Structure 1
Amino acid sequence: MSLSALIDRRLILRLGAVAGLGAAVMPRLAWAVGQPAALPKVSALVDRWTGTGKFPGMVASVGMAGREASFVARGAQGFDDGTPMGPDSLFRIYSMTKPITGIMAMQLVEEGRLSLDQPLADVLPAWRTMQVQDRYDGALDRLHPAPRPITMRHLVTHTSGIGYSIVQTGPIRDAYVRQGLVPGRISRIEVPGLTYGPTVRGLDHFADRLATLPLVADPGTRWSYSMGLDVMGRVIEVVTGKSFDAYLAEALFGPAGMASTTFTVPRAQARRLTTNYGALGGVLVPIDPPESSVYLDPPAFPFGGSGLVSTPRDYDRFLRLLAQGGVIDGRRVLSQRAVALGTSNLLPDGVDRSHMIGGPAAFGAGGRIGLGAEAGVFGWSGAAGTVGMVDMNHAIRSQLFVQFMPSDATPLLPEFQTALKADVMALLEKPA
């Protein structure tokens, strides 16, 4: 079986529902974290999936407001790398970058520097007059004028009508690739189904060039996974007068103590970078080893939708910041209103949610929000097997970090959801 057949770009998008805790978790939860024994089901799952013929290593965590997380780490950073896997190992988090970009956009909304329903063209004039394909992924010469402008709300909720080079098919996808509108990177080698050629350099050039191509749907009408958060990165640059990566470092990563979250891995820290694997016929093939990783070089531009490398400890601090309403270690980093806004349902009224990854749900600033028993659970997954979420109703957060593509090549993530819920319910029954 060919690598392209196994690592199909469409498979990358079937990330599964967020492994939320929802209404099952009550504030009276007795917390016994700090030792893996507090999380026996999660620990057993990590043990079961780590070792010869499985994954070289992985990290899981659970935490609650005001407390450090409990981390369960097993194995090594690669089959040929004896470095122990741990909370400070570096992982490619891919689309888990999107909630970070979305939440920082909401901070600018609360500061009065952006408005949620402000037209994108107010900041990026190239987007003022847009054309839309008459048929989703149809011909490039059968178009109609966009009936309404793209707004900031549309960008952060994937309802802008902007397409995605890893989602679209046909002429529009070919046009994206031909013009270098591929905001992400996988490997230095060409991997069929995962890599699509060089990316245009410069976030400004990316945003302007993307504006010359038609939308795949009318703005505000359909949830369609998109490059909207990458465009939001350019919006943030223009509004703040700083490069997107510099703004994130100054406004979030520094104040929140996320010192290991970057778009480029310093070569001196390459030893902390895990190996990324492609699943090939039940075998994991290294596609981005740390010593020659594509992440050792600066990206074409800082990808607001997929570009960050982080650690389980760092990303837990981001989730903890959300769970605690913008405060961490006694320091306010984000406004409480920005956090509340970004983790609330921001979808336009009447939008078609039938194509939403994980099934119809609510959606906030770059992350899915559960419904029903999972109401209030905000988070998103990454294409290489990472997932992070926070139950905003009960201030509990959880994560799983591993590195393989596509992330649904195994039942690991659904099994993690089951194990996580079992451990939380057991903790719930312990005396306070």
Structure 2
Amino acid sequence: MKLATLAVPILLASAATLFAQAAPQPAQPMPVANVAAGAMPNTQALFDGYVRDGKMPGIVAAYGFGDAPTLFPAAGRIADVSSAAPAGPDSLWRIYSMTKPITAAAAMILIEEGKLKLDDPLSKYIPAFARMRVLTSPDTSLNTVPATRAITIRNLLTHTAGLSYNIIAKGPLLKEYERLGVLPAEVNMAVEAQMRAVRPKTLAEFADRVATLPLIAQPGTKWSYSIGLDVMGRVIEVASGQSFDAFVQARIFDPLKMRSSYWTVPRGEVQRLATNYTFTGDTRTPIDPAATSVYLQPPSFPYGGAGLVSSARDYDRFLHMLQNYGTLDGVRVMKRETAALMMSNLLPAGVTFGGIGGGTGGTTSAAPLGYGAGGSVYLADGPFGIPSKGTYGWGGAAGTIAYVDPVKRIRGTIMVNYFPSEKWPTRSESVAALAKDAARYAR
């Protein structure tokens, strides 16, 4: 039997025992990060080293083992100034593409209710997508041929619609995305001023503009990272009869008590918001300081692919629901079968997913990967047995990471904020440290 298979249940029990033994007296509450450090010394040492070596101002993770209290190892502060708050469970971080699994979950709820079907044509909800065209040379020309099949809801959820992305597109296609303002993301106030000059003002207008763009491949034939989950936001509006953000709030955030997840950060919470940085070589420069952040003003519309700010505690609650196949604290968000479907390989027949990096917030792996609704799915165990086969997750362009292993009942969220997301090997190093911490309890 693999070490990880033995270690994880023992770590789960040990973590619960540690919390019971270390329960603080009411008059002297113990910071949760200190408790986490005792249970996860290798992870804590890794995080402390990141801050000590100047790789990042601060970092916090949320690690869950079954239904034991979540552990929140943390180090440093949320900005490079001594007055900044320590990084902690309720610090606010730009999660960018970790918004995608939440949007996908909203779509899965509507699929469960029969208001959407996986293989419905997109044009059923947005008629402008009825007649699409496909580029013959996506990187160099705008020459097209007619699409031979319809884009489906499955295609939107799995990045197989043939849509592109301004962070992926090249040449004349990129210029078209920019000309039409198909730019569903926020960077900082200076960039936002330029984007707002051309960006649509509503999700409905956004989706209709996307429908005028040529595709990079025939629908259902190729995995290509895309604005599919942003278009899904409009589908959710049409299918639910509610605004996209209102539906997410009512059906996901409120029942899961995710009280620190925002499309717009309230001014009164700015002290919790991390500063986002960009690296030039090893030099770190603020690109979106918290005090003047673009996230303090409402977006043009809620971006289903990259629009949310959240906390480690909040995102852990979302993952905990998925770990439990749709339920948390006695509240059911979706049926067990729906959660299982969301975290299964939903790629169309003949399409494969080989991983993606390069500042996208995606993931790469030595293990074979598939793709579910809004996130990757491990088709075999990872290098350390963690993540294991069936693990679902995704990351964000500013370095955030999230995954849930519903088989071993483990979940992990890591919050940092800097571009590019692959500046440091946080994904691989954090998994290795987690495996070492688990192994301590197997001896």
Q: TM-score, normalised by structure 2?
A: 0.88
Deviation at 1:304, TM superposition (A): 0.3
Q: For the residues of structure 1 that align with 2:398 and 2:425, how far apart are their CA atoms?
A: 14
2:391–2:404 Cα contact (<8 Å) kept: yes
SS in 2 for 1:399: strand
Q: Residues 27 and 385 (structure 1 numbering): CA distance in 2 closer, same or farther, change over 3 Å? A: same
Moved more, 411-420 or 316-325: 411-420
Question: How far apart, in 2, do the equivalents of 1:104 and 1:231 lie?
Answer: 13
Q: Per the alignment, in what secondary structure is the counterpart of residue 13 of structure 2? A: coil
Deviation, structure 1 residue 242: 0.8
Shift of 1:26: 5.3
Q: Select between 49-58 and 263-272 the one with higher mean Cα deviation.
A: 49-58
1:82 and 1:317 map into 2 onto residues whose CA distance is: 26
Q: 2:384 aligns to what?
A: none
Q: Distance in 1 between matches of 2:257 and 2:147?
A: 42
Please name the residue that 1:409 is paired with: 423
Q: Which runs of 5+ in 2 are unaligned?
A: 20-34, 358-363, 382-387
What one-letter code is carried by the residue in structure 2 that aligns with 1:241? G
Measure, in 1, the Cα distance between the counterparts of 2:199 and 2:335: 35
How many Å separate the matches in 2 of 1:214 and 1:158? Answer: 15
- Say if 2:299 is the partner of 1:299: yes
Q: CA deviation at 1:198?
A: 4.9
Contact in 2 for aligned 1:22/1:375 (Cα 8 Å): no
Alignment correspondent of 1:54 = 55
2:375 is the counterpart of 1:363: no
Distance in 2 (alpha carbons) for counterparts of 1:157 and 1:25:
33
Q: What's the counterpart of residue 251 of structure 1? A: 251
In structure 2, the partner of 1:219 is 219
Rounded Cα–Cα distance in structure 1 between residues aligned with 2:201 and 2:129: 19
Q: Which amino acid aligns with 1:371?
A: L
Aligned letter for 2:13? W
Range moving further from structure 2, 314-323 or 78-87? 78-87
Query: Do the aligned partners of residues 74 and 354 (structure 1) sit closer, same or farther apart at CA in structure 2, a change above 3 Å counting?
Result: closer
What do you get for the CA RMSD once the two structures are aligned? Answer: 2.0
Counterpart Cα distance in 1 of 2:105 and 2:6: 26
**Equivalent position amino acid for 1:242 in 2:** Q
Tell me: higher relative CO, structure 1 or 2? Use CA pairs within 8 A at least 6 residues apart.
1
Equivalent pairs, count: 406
1:134 to partner: Cα distance: 1.1
Aligned pair partner of 1:91 in 90, 93, 98 = 93
1:157-306 equivalent positions in 2, closer than 5 A: 157-190=158-191, 198-306=198-306
Partner SS, residue 372 of structure 1: coil
Counterpart of 1:18 in structure 2 is none
Residue 77 of structure 1: how far off its partner (Å)? 1.1
Change (3 A) 1:23 1:205: farther
Structure 2 residue aligned with 1:390: 404
Counterpart amino acid of residue 219 in structure 1: P
The equivalent of 1:63 in structure 2 is 64
Structure 1 unmatched runs, 5+: 1-20
Query: 1:131 — aligned with what?
Result: 133
Q: Is the 8 A contact 1:22 1:376 kept in 2?
A: no
What is residue 101 of structure 1 aligned with on the other side? 103
Q: C-alpha displacement at 1:355, in angstroms?
A: 6.5
User: In 2 relative to 1, CA 330–410 (structure 1 residues): closer, same or farther, beyond 3 Å?
Assistant: same
Could you report, residue by residue, the CA deviation over 1:206-230 in whole angstroms, capped at 9, with x for unpaired residues? 1000101101111011100000000
1:32 alignment partner in structure 2:
14
d(CA) in 1 for partners of 2:103, 2:286:
29
* Post-superposition CA distance 1:231-272 (Å, at most 9, x none): 000000011111111110001100001011110000011111
Query: Once the 2 structures are TM-superposed, how far is the Cα of residue 426 of structure 1 from its aligned partner?
Result: 2.7
Judge conservation of contact 1:77–1:84 (CA < 8 Å) in 2: yes
* CA–CA separation in structure 1 for the residues paired with 2:125 and 2:347: 21
Native 8 Å contact 1:132 1:216 kept in 2 = yes
Distance apart, 1:332 and its partner CA: 1.2
Q: Could you tell me how far apart the structure 1 residues matched to 2:151 and 2:48 are?
A: 47
Kindly provide the CA deviation profile for residues 169-207 of structure 1, in whole angstroms up to 9, marking residues without a partner as x: 01111100111000101111349xx98975322111110
Contact 2:369-2:379 at 8 Å conserved across structures: yes
Contact 1:187 1:195 in 2 (8 A): no
Deviation at 1:22, TM superposition (A): 8.3
**1:223–1:356 CA contact under 8 A, matched in 2:** no
What's the offset of the Cα at 1:76? 1.1
Please state whether the residue corresponding to 2:73 is helix, strand or coil.
Answer: strand
TM-score, structure 1 normalization? 0.90
CA apart distance, 1:375: 1.2
* Aligned-pair CA distance for 1:82: 2.5
Shift in alpha-carbon separation, 1:197–1:285, aligned structure 2, 3 A: farther
Q: Could you give the per-residue CA deviations for residues 365-415 of structure 1, whole angstroms, max 9, x where no partner exists?
A: 000011221311100000101001000211110121111100111223321
What amino acid does structure 2 have at the position aligned with 1:118?
D
Of 383-392 and 57-66, the range deviating more from structure 2: 57-66
